Amino acid sequence: MEIILKPVITEKMTAKGEQLNQYGFIVHKKANKLQIKHAVEDIYGVEVVTVNTMNYSGKEKSRFTKSGVISGRTKSYKKAIVTLAEGEIIDFYSNI
What is the pLDDT averaged over residues 73-89? 95
Contacts 24+ apart (CB under 8 A), 12-21: 16/81, 17/90, 20/83, 21/83, 21/84, 21/85, 21/86, 21/88, 21/89
Q: What pLDDT shows up at residue 94?
A: 75
Domain extent for 55: 4-84
Query: Does residue 91 lie in a domain region?
Result: no
Q: 96: pLDDT confidence band, cut at 50, 70 and 90?
A: low
* Span 14-67, pLDDT tens digits: 999 999 999 999 999 999 999 999 999 999 999 999 999 999 999 999 999 999
The answer to whether residue 11 scores a pLDDT higher than 90 is: yes
- The answer to whether position 18 is within a domain reads yes
Q: Is residue 90 part of a domain?
A: no
Q: Domain holding 39: CATH number?
A: 3.30.70.330
The answer to whether residue 96 is domain-embedded is no
Domain-located, residue 52: yes
Q: Structurally, how many domains does the chain consist of?
A: 1
**Quick check: is 25 in a domain?**
yes
The pLDDT, as a whole number, for residue 93 is 80
> What is the pLDDT at residue 40?
95
The verdict on residue 36 lying in a domain is yes
**Residue 44 domain-assigned (yes or no):** yes
The confidence band for 95, taking pLDDT boundaries of 50, 70 and 90, is low
